Amino acid sequence: MTVSIPFYILSAITLLGGLAAVTLRNTVHCALALTAAFAGLAMLFLQLDAQFAGFAQILIYIGAVAILVVFAILLTRNAELEATSVFSRTWIAGLAIAAAVFTVLGWAIMQTASRLPEAWPTPQVTVRDIGNALMSRYILPLEIVALLLTAALIGAVIVAMHEKEGTK
Amino acid sequence: MIEKLDQIFLLLRTWLVGFLPARWQAAAGVVLGVVAIIGTYPALFALGTVMERKGLGRMQNRLGPNRVGPFGILQPVADGIKALVKEDVIPSRADKAVHFLAPLLLVVVVFMGFAVLPMGRNMVLVDLDAGLLFFFAMGASTELSVFMAGWSSRNKYSLLGAMRAIAQMISYEVVLLMSSLAVVMISGTLSLPDIVDKQNRYTYGLPHWYAFTPWGFAGLVMFSIAAMAETNRSPFDLPEGESELVAGYFTEYSGFKFALFFLGEYVGMFSIAGLGATLFLGGWTAPFEFLTWVPSWMWFFGKLMVAMCIFIWIRGTLPRLRQDQLMNFAWKFVLPMTLLNLLVAALWRFLGHGWLRWVICWVIVLGAYVLMAQIGMRKRNLGPRRYRYAE
């Protein structure tokens, strides 16, 4: 992997976005900072030449998950802005937990990284390869995910329907 | 000579880049392409606003703007000067950072979509393997800017407009993706120049455009419906309905930021019309074989202008859809039709070449359309109107 200037810029964006997402006071600002972190992550995928993963990350995370997060924030609390400090009170605890998770993950990765061969050729994965793999080797996970999505869709419709019956 | 005219922009770029040392030539070529895109599409936007105002005016039995230039052609110049010198009013309790970033995000994301559109033979800025996915990813990011605009204005009208706009855009995003999925199925590739190449054949002088096949025609109709809804264009313009919501999510924007939103909306319209032309109408290919001598970029921009005229025509003709009507339309009618379209496209592929597949596919598409419309209208008892008041 080439450690170059774009990599530093993108990782800075991702890290700052993530940090801002946990330390900002205004929840909608947190959601927007999380979106910036998603964008940085997508561009890191693109830098590793994983086109499908990068664009799917933008399409799904920024286009759907971020919108869902902001809708949830807006519909569940009144977005009144208290004129207090920008950073939330529990930022030390959040930072400590994040640092602990990072340590565990980093240790796990470093343990496995020492076992990989030195010259690891970058795989050229096209969308066609992903499609072939999904249809041949990973067909069962594909069907299970489809089942999960159907259940989620039906659940959403049922939740919305109950509210309408309640007001009639 | 004809080939030179066809490739004239590429030859121009190579000539200009030849003045630089070899190390900078690739980057300078890309920068020149970007500059060309950023120069062309706002110019088309200016032309589009004049066309729209004059066209809508004539359809509503009045003249459009006719003071500024001959036939009002210089009206966009006047609008631009007005937008630049207007005072930039920001509400005092508005969220200043988000309020500032929303139009910026919209314009950036909308212009990024042009990077993968093939505007002529060999004239695509970046030939990505997953080009269509990139375009849809950029389209999905515009919803975020709509939300940012609506929320940061701290205004109930803006927030309501933003919520409606996002609900509408998410619903029709699904329709947009599903209707282009049939094209991807038949072409076997996500790369837009390859999709155009597959349509670049002629049989008896008629082109192999996907719009002339049953599934392609249905797909084109559904794609244009979804395109109109994605760009908040009438009859789907409830989020910015002038008579209901003041101006929807850009109520609190004045001056140049409003001009940026306007620019983003129109350029988004061009971009999605360009995608529709690429997927269904053969991109830069000519409609008849004897017309292939006309430069390819002229065909692309011609199709873009025709699509713009059709958008304006529909805006002037159809009434606005109510929010629940447009959501019902998306989820209960258009989405099942897109799923059926996938089935028809698969049948088309596997029924062999001949007249049989034409008959079967047209019968299925038209029959399903009529059947679903009949079923949809049957449950609707259109009696005298009853009003429910809020208690």
Residue with tokens 């030859």: B11
Nearest Cα residue in chain A from B165? A67
Residue A83 forms contact with B (CB below 8 Å): no
Q: Which of A56-60, A147-151, B206-210 has the lowest mean pLDDT?
A: B206-210
Residues B41-57: pLDDT tens digits?
999 999 999 999 999 99
Higher pLDDT: B390 or A99? It is A99
Q: Do B144 and A79 touch (CB under 8 A)?
A: no
* Average pLDDT of chain B to the nearest whole number: 87
- Residue B94's domain comprises 87-375
For an interface test with A, the pick among B151, B184, B328, B391 (most A C-beta atoms closer than 10 Å) comes out as B151
Residue A126 forms contact with B (CB below 8 Å): yes
Report the C-alpha dihedral over residues A141, A142, A148, A152, rounded to 10 degrees. Answer: 150
3-state secondary structure of A82: coil
Average pLDDT of span B151-170 = 83
- Residue A105 and residue A154 share a domain: no
Which stretch, A63-67, A89-93, B66-70, has highest mean pLDDT? A63-67
Q: Do A59 and B143 touch (CB under 8 A)?
A: no
Q: Which helix (H) or strand (E) holds A124?
A: none
Inter-residue contact B230 to B173 (CB < 8 Å)? yes
- Residues in chain B within 8 Å Cβ distance of A79: 151
**Residue B308, token pair as written in the block:** 């713009």
> What is the C-alpha separation between B8 and B297, in angstroms, rounded?
10
**Residue B330, token pair as written in the block:** 């998306």
Q: Total structural domains in chain A?
A: 2
Q: Do B140 and A62 touch (CB under 8 A)?
A: yes
Which stretch, B314-318, B341-345, B372-376, has highest mean pLDDT? B341-345
> What is the C-alpha separation between B360 and A104, in angstroms, rounded?
60
Average pLDDT of span B77-89 = 88
Q: Do A63 and B143 touch (CB under 8 A)?
A: yes
pLDDT band at residue B258 using 50, 70 and 90 as cut-offs: confident
Nearest Cα residue in chain A from B390? A167
Give the number of A-B residue pairs with CB atoms closer than 8 Å: 66
Nearest CB to A67: which of B130, B139, B166? B166
With vertex at residue A9, the alpha carbon angle to CA A5 and CA A112, rounded to the nearest 5 degrees, is 80
- Residue A130's domain comprises 126-168
Q: Do A127 and B129 touch (CB under 8 A)?
A: yes
For an interface test with B, the pick among A34, A45, A59, A71 (most B C-beta atoms closer than 10 Å) comes out as A59
Nearest CB to A59: which of B93, B136, B147? B136
* End-to-end alpha carbon distance in chain A: 60
Average pLDDT of span B157-180 = 87
> What is the C-alpha separation between B202 and B217, in angstroms, rounded?
18
Q: How close, in Å, is residue B294 to chain A by CA atoms? A: 34
Which stretch, B21-25, B92-96, B211-215, has highest mean pLDDT? B211-215
Inter-residue contact B121 to B296 (CB < 8 Å)? yes
- Residue A74 and residue A6 share a domain: yes
- Residue A110 and residue A29 share a domain: yes
- Residue A113 and residue A130 share a domain: no
SS3 of chain B: the string is CHHHHHCHHHHHHHHHHCCCCHHHHHHHHHHHHHHHHHHHHHHHHHHHHHHHHHHHHHHCCCCCCCCCCHHHCCHHHHHHHHHHHCCCCCCCCCCHHHHHHHHHHHHHHHHHHHHHCCCCCCCCCCCCCCHHHHHHHHHHHHHHHHHHHHHHCCCHHHHHHHHHHHHHHHHHHHHHHHHHHHHHHHHCCCCHHHHHHHCCCEECCEECCHHHCHHHHHHHHHHHHHHHHHCCCCCCCHHHCCCCCCCHHHCCCCCHHHHHHHHHHHHHHHHHHHHHHHHHCCCCCCCCHHHCCCCHHHHHHHHHHHHHHHHHHHHHHCCCCCHHHHHHHHHHHHHHHHHHHHHHHHHHHHCCCCHHHHHHHHHHHHHHHHHHHHHHHHCCCCCCCCCCCCC
| CATH classification of the domain holding A74 | 1.20.120.1200
For an interface test with A, the pick among B92, B95, B391 (most A C-beta atoms closer than 10 Å) comes out as B95
Predicted local confidence at residue A165, as pLDDT: 55
User: In whole angstroms, how far apart are CA B120 and each of A81, B2, B200?
Assistant: 51, 14, 12
Q: How close, in Å, is residue A95 to chain B by CA atoms? A: 25
Nearest CB to A58: which of B93, B141, B148? B141
Residue A51 forms contact with B (CB below 8 Å): yes
Give CA A116 to chain center in angstroms: 27
Predicted local confidence at residue B96, as pLDDT: 85
Nearest CB to A67: which of B95, B133, B144? B144
Q: Do B129 and A51 touch (CB under 8 A)?
A: yes
Q: How close, in Å, is residue A98 to chain B by CA atoms? A: 27
**Residue B366, token pair as written in the block:** 């038209």
Average pLDDT of span A95-124 = 81
Inter-residue contact B365 to B344 (CB < 8 Å)? yes
Inter-residue contact B214 to B357 (CB < 8 Å)? no
Predicted local confidence at residue A150, as pLDDT: 94
- Residue A93 and residue A62 share a domain: yes
- Residue A142 and residue A81 share a domain: no
- Residue A59 and residue A13 share a domain: yes
Inter-residue contact B98 to B161 (CB < 8 Å)? no
Q: Which of A2-6, A24-28, A42-46, A127-131 has the lowest mean pLDDT?
A: A2-6
For an interface test with B, the pick among A26, A29, A32 (most B C-beta atoms closer than 10 Å) comes out as A32
Higher pLDDT: B60 or B385? It is B60
Nearest CB to A126: which of B129, B143, B144? B129
Q: How close, in Å, is residue B73 to chain A by CA atoms? A: 38
Predicted local confidence at residue A168, as pLDDT: 44
Average pLDDT of span B101-108 = 91
Q: Provide, rounded to the nearest whole percent, the portion of chain B with pLDDT above 90.
A: 38
Is B86 a residue whose pLDDT tops 70? yes
Give CA B200 to chain center in angstroms: 22
Higher pLDDT: B263 or B158? It is B263
- Residues in chain A within 8 Å Cβ distance of B139: 63
Given A118, A141, A159, which residue is the final one in a domain? Answer: A118
- Residues in chain A within 8 Å Cβ distance of B136: 55, 59
Predicted local confidence at residue B355, as pLDDT: 86
Is A144 a residue whose pLDDT tops 90? yes
CB within 8 Å of B105: residues ≥ 6 apart? B141, B144, B145, B148
Residues A14-71: pLDDT tens digits?
999 998 887 787 888 889 999 999 999 999 998 888 888 899 999 999 988 998 888 8
Nearest CB to B137: which of A35, A58, A81? A58
Residues B228-245: pLDDT tens digits?
988 888 777 777 765 565
Q: Would the CA dihedral through A50, A53, A57, A59 be positive or negative? A: positive
Q: Total structural domains in chain B?
A: 1
pLDDT band at residue B377 using 50, 70 and 90 as cut-offs: confident
> What is the C-alpha separation between B222 and B336, in angstroms, rounded?
11
Predicted local confidence at residue A11, as pLDDT: 93
A31, HSE (Cβ side, Cα atoms, 13 Å): 24
Average pLDDT of span A98-125 = 80
